[in-house]
Structure 1
Amino acid sequence: MAGFWGRRKREQAELDATDADLALRAQRALVDADERIRLTGDELAFAEAELGPGATKELREAHDAVRTHLREAFHLHQLNHDHIPDTPEELRTRNARIVQLCEWAEELLDDRTEALAEPIARARRAPEIIAKVRSDAAHLRTRIPHARDTVTRLAARYAAHALSQVEANPAEAEQLIGFAEHSAGVAERRREAGQREQANMALEAATEAARRAETLIDAVETFEVEALRAESTLAAVVEDSRGDLIAARTAPQVPAVTAAVAELEAALKALPAAGVNTDPFAQLSQLRAANAGLDAAIAAARERAARQIPDLAHVRHAIDDADRQLAVARDVIAGHRGWIGADARTRLAEAERVRIDLDRHLGTSAAAATQIDEDHREQALDMARRAAFLASEGLQLAQRDIDGARPQTAPGGMGMPGMGMPGGRRGGGSDLMGGILGGLVIGSILDGIFD
């Protein structure tokens, strides 16, 4: 007994220590949250001055919500220290709620202020960014003549439709540079007038315009390099394609290979003669597609030649066997519906699904098909065997359910225990009842009632 009371005292001491830690944690959380709200208020005032009320709407709403809920936390803390005695459970509940409210407040403010961190930093660096936009614009203007010369040089070598993706880049880049310079001036004037929100919008437009101008100019130089690389790759693919055409002579001459050879030969003949302006990107794509098609056709033909194609009679026999197995399983399950469980029904449903998929695979009813293409025979044989196996398995499970549900007769007689003397005859009515309880008749009657 002394050990019991000692354990109770230790448990109570641990609980008191936990409550004291929770109370201290609640007090610290309340102080931290209150300070965070005050700090966020200062940040909100600066953000509204720099970005305008539209950009800081979510932060202001979060700040107002946090201030409202923190009043609840202060009220709970006040209840913990008023003149009315509280139970330990009441103190524990209040302190836990205080901690919850304060943590939620700090997380919400963290999320909203983080979303504004980058715009605020950019607003603070606005003069520096404006200067950089003007410097970038001046540098990009010096690149415009070189980009125009490059386009002229490319036009003498490549087809017009190939060059269309970069032909207008120098002119578009020059317009964007002018827009970037104008937007930078607007941003500077609006900032000096105290219209910070409009100034920031103009500054973002200037930065984006300068970035897009640089991308357009870079694309001209990139096109020239990539076009030369495509021409080099095209020469290698042409050589490889000619080798593939030679190799195709030893491949099985099936229709797929013959068609792929004709397509690759046509792609090679379509290549322009030397000195003609070309589109190396389009030519490379067409030739690669034809080359890959021939490789795939040869690989498929050799793979099919390496494996034995099922005889049509074997496939037909497997389909007929599946249909017979399905018919037997359907009849048995339909005739004993009240006794058949989920397993047998599931196997039959799956077998029927596979059988339907077989018809879809062949494009017609498998039972009515007189010919099955060699490309479809192997899969048709597998599907037919799968359907037959599932139907057979469903039939076995159905038979198990029937055997388990059929009443057992007593040795030497027709009746069940308690339904007359074993092996005896108590009249036509008794014999009929024994037969109903011991045979399949009751199954049919119950099926009719409950189904």
Structure 2
Amino acid sequence: MAGFWGRRRREDEAARQAQDDDLARRARAALVAADERIRTTSDEVEFALAELGETATKPLREGLEAVRTHMAEAFHLHQLNHDEIPDTAEELRTRNARIVQLCDWAEDVLDERTEALREKIALVRQAPKIIDGIRSDVERLRARLPQARETVDRLAGRYSQAALHRVAANPSEAEQLLDFALHSADVSVRRREARRPEEANVALETATEAVRRAGAILDAVEDFEIEALRAQSTLADVIADSREDIVAARPFTQSGVPHAAEVSAAVARLEAALAALPGPGTPSDPFEDLATLREANAALDAAVDKARERASRPVPPLDHVRHAVEAADHAIAVARSVIDGHRGWIGADARTRLVEAQRLRPEIDPLVVPEDTREQALVLARRVQQLAGEALQAAQRDIDSGRPDGDDWGGYGGFGGGRRRPRSGFGGGGDLLGPVLGGVLLGGLMGDMFD
């Protein structure tokens, strides 16, 4: 057995030594790779600084400086691993792990910072080609200007000035943008020759954006004509639908129909919108006409839906609401009378329901109940009556049981100071007569209330 454990110990030690040797090899390789990466990045920074300027390269330069500082620690740890002072296996393992961590961090920082500059550096290297492309695009877009002006003039005879306002100035604006793009491209070339890279790059980006915007607003002229024709086609369909909707809404404008006034107003508004549409051959704004007509049509649909819903659910007569309120008041009065007359016997349930009924009751005014709120008032009155009835039933149970909520207590209330009610005989409504009298009394009251 001792031989087995000895062999097992030697195998574990050999495995740990192999792991430590592998970690040491990784630390040395990472140290060499990170140092070489720093040297390569330093050369790239010099090139980028000359091409992009200090502002664009500042994040990379700061990152490179931070990496150099932390890599100094890594080299120092590696030096400690090879000095003349003996080290334990644990010390070597800790240092090598730290070296690997520092080198990995350095690689990540440099990757992130150089990647951020990659696109800008590519732009700088392709600057002459990009400038040639800008000049070519300017000439191509200039050739479209006469056609754009002709399109605007032709559309002016078909559409109103308000409709055409969104594209009327597009050809002139496009021409100004193209002139500005050429000027910016020339500035970029001169600034780069003067070794002012930051200004050269800004001018190049400005020229590129000016060309893009010029092309977009020229496309907008052609898109306007297509969208206007589409709006006119849709407008014709909406006009037909609106006229059909007016005919369908007429029955809901008759006297006595719920919400007739609201439907009539919506019909009048839609008719006015139809009447305001320009006649054939008159310059128009199909976008505005379509928006106005759709809004009026939607208002009529909403008014008709509201009237149709009310017609399917008639308004309760005002007398029904008043009767329900009177029944609720009567129920509250009966429940309050019983609870006030037997306070020593009444528990929390009955009291809570009575309080809730009394809280809801002021929300109903039986003398002023508009049609729109009658159904809600009727439901609320019935809820008040229900709560009062539940309070009365709970009070009946408390009196029948001889104690509220099953608690073995009783008292006259007032100034009795907790005086206990007699629990037998004929004194003060004791156990013998309390349930009998309570049942007879409440039975009569409840029968009268729900008659």
Give the secondary structure class of the aligned counterpart of 2:168: coil
Out of 244-253 and 5-14, give the one that drifted further: 5-14
Residue in 1 that maps onto 2:130: 129
Paired amino acid for 2:210: A
Give the equivalent residue in structure 1 for 2:167: 166
Shift of residue 261 of structure 1?
2.6
Q: Which residue of 2 is the match for residue 241 of structure 1?
A: 242
RMSD of aligned Cα (Å): 4.2
Identify the residue that residue 363 of structure 2 maps to in structure 1: 366
1:232, distance to aligned residue in structure 2 (A): 0.9
Which range moved further: 286-295 or 153-162? Answer: 286-295
Amino acid at match of 2:87: D
**Which piece of structure 1 moves more, 269-278 or 118-127?**
269-278
Deviation of residue 368 (structure 1)?
A: 6.3
Match of 1:67 in 2: 68
Given that 2:325 and 2:366 are in contact with CA atoms closer than 8 Å, whether structure 1 keeps it comes out as no
Query: Once the 2 structures are TM-superposed, how far is the Cα of residue 14 of structure 1 from its aligned partner?
Result: 5.0
C-alpha displacement of 1:231: 0.8
Q: Counterpart of 2:95? A: 94
CA-to-aligned-CA distance 1:223-275 (integer Å, 9 cap, x gap) = 11111111111111111111222222355652543443333222212211222
Would you say the 8 A contact 1:169–1:217 is kept in 2?
yes
1:331-351: CA deviation from partner (whole Å, max 9, x where unpaired): xxxxxxxxxxxxxxxxx9xx9
Please give the per-residue CA displacement for 1:122-160, whole angstroms capped at 9, x wherever unaligned: 111011011011111111111111111111111111111
Q: Which has the larger displacement, 181-190 or 171-180? A: 181-190
Matched, 1:186 2:187: yes
The answer as to 2:220 corresponding to 1:219 is yes
Report 1:204-353 matches (<5 A): 204-249=205-250, 253-254=258-259, 255-306=261-312, 312=321
Contact preservation (8 Å) 1:52, 1:197: yes
User: What are the Cα deviations for residues 46-91 of structure 1, in whole angstroms up to 9, with x where unaligned?
Assistant: 1111111111111111111111111112222222333333334433
Contact 1:318 1:385 in 2 (8 A): no
Distance 1:263 1:239, change over 3 A: same
**Structure 2 residue aligned with 1:200:** 201
Name the CA distance, whole Å, in 1 between partners of 2:107 and 2:263.
Answer: 69
Please name the residue that 1:413 is paired with.
none
Q: Cα deviation per residue 1:33-56 (whole Å; 9 max; x = unaligned)?
A: 222222221221111111111111
Work out whether residues 144 and 174 of structure 1, in 8 Å CA contact, stay in contact via their aligned partners in 2: yes
Distance 2:369 2:174 in 1: 62
Deviation at 1:16, TM superposition (A): 4.5
Contact 2:159 2:283 (C-alpha < 8 Å) held by counterparts? yes
C-alpha distance in 1 between matches for 2:34 and 2:323: 80
Letter of the 1:201 partner, please give it.
V
Against the structure 1 CA distance between its residues 94 and 250, is the aligned structure 2 distance closer, same or farther, given a 3 Å change threshold?
farther
What corresponds to 2:28 in structure 1?
Answer: 27
1:377-421 Cα distance to aligned partner (Å, 9 max, x none): 777859x979x99xx9xxx9xxxxxxxxxxx99xxxxxxxxxxxx
Deviation at 1:100? Answer: 2.5
SS of aligned partner of 2:97: helix
> 3-state SS of the aligned residue for 1:56?
helix
| CA-CA distance at 1:5 after TM superposition | 7.0
Change over 3 Å in CA distance of 1:99–1:275 after alignment to 2: same
Call closer, same or farther: CA 1:253–1:73 in 2, change over 3 Å. same
Alignment of 1:11-50 (within 5 A): 15-50=16-51
**TM-score (ref. length: structure 2):** 0.68
Instruction: Report the CA distance shift for 1:211/1:317 in structure 2 as closer, same or farther (over 3 A).
Output: farther
CA deviation vs aligned residue, 1:172-210 (integer Å, no higher than 9, x gap): 111111111111122222223333222222211111111
Paired position in structure 2 for 1:404: none
Deviation at 1:316, TM superposition (A): 6.4
Q: Alpha-carbon deviation of 1:302? A: 3.5
Q: TM-score, normalised by structure 1?
A: 0.68
Q: Distance in 1 between matches of 2:22 and 2:221?
A: 67
Q: Which string of whole-angstrom CA distances, capped at 9 and with x for unpartnered residues, describes residues 293-327 of structure 1?
A: 33333334434544577875699699999x99xx9
Shift of 1:371: 4.5
CA contact (8 A) 2:321 2:366 kept: no
What one-letter code is carried by the residue in structure 2 that aligns with 1:103?
D
Relative to structure 1, is the Cα distance of residues 144 and 320 closer, same or farther in structure 2, using a 3 angstrom cutoff? Answer: farther
- 319 and 9 in structure 1: CA distance in 2 versus 1, 3 angstrom threshold: farther
One-letter amino acid matched to 1:99: V
Amino acid of the residue matched to residue 234 of structure 2?
Answer: T
Secondary structure of 1:276's partner?
Answer: coil
* Counterpart residue number, 2:157: 156
Unaligned runs of 5+ in 2: 337-351, 395-406, 409-451
Name the counterpart of 2:429.
Answer: none
Give the stretch that moved more between structures: 15-24 or 168-177: 15-24
Percentage of pairs with the same residue:
58
Whole-Å separation in 2 of the counterparts to 1:297 and 1:65: 70
Amino acid at match of 2:289: Q
Cα distance in 1 for partners of 2:11, 2:233 equals 84
1:319/1:367 contact within 8 Å kept:
no
Distance in 2, matches of 1:320 and 1:36, equals 90
Q: 1:11 to 1:139 in 2, by over 3 A?
A: same
Distance in 1 (alpha carbons) for counterparts of 2:31 and 2:326? 82
Distance in 2, matches of 1:319 and 1:295, equals 39
What's 1:110 paired with? 111
Query: Against the structure 1 CA distance between its residues 152 and 29, is the aligned structure 2 distance closer, same or farther, given a 3 Å change threshold?
Result: same
Query: Equivalent residue of 1:54, what SS?
Result: helix
**SS, match of residue 195 in structure 2:** coil
For residue 30 of structure 1, report the CA deviation from its aligned partner.
2.4
**Residue segments in structure 1 that go unaligned for 5+ positions in a row:** 328-347, 360-364, 397-407, 410-451
Secondary structure of the residue aligned to 1:55 is helix
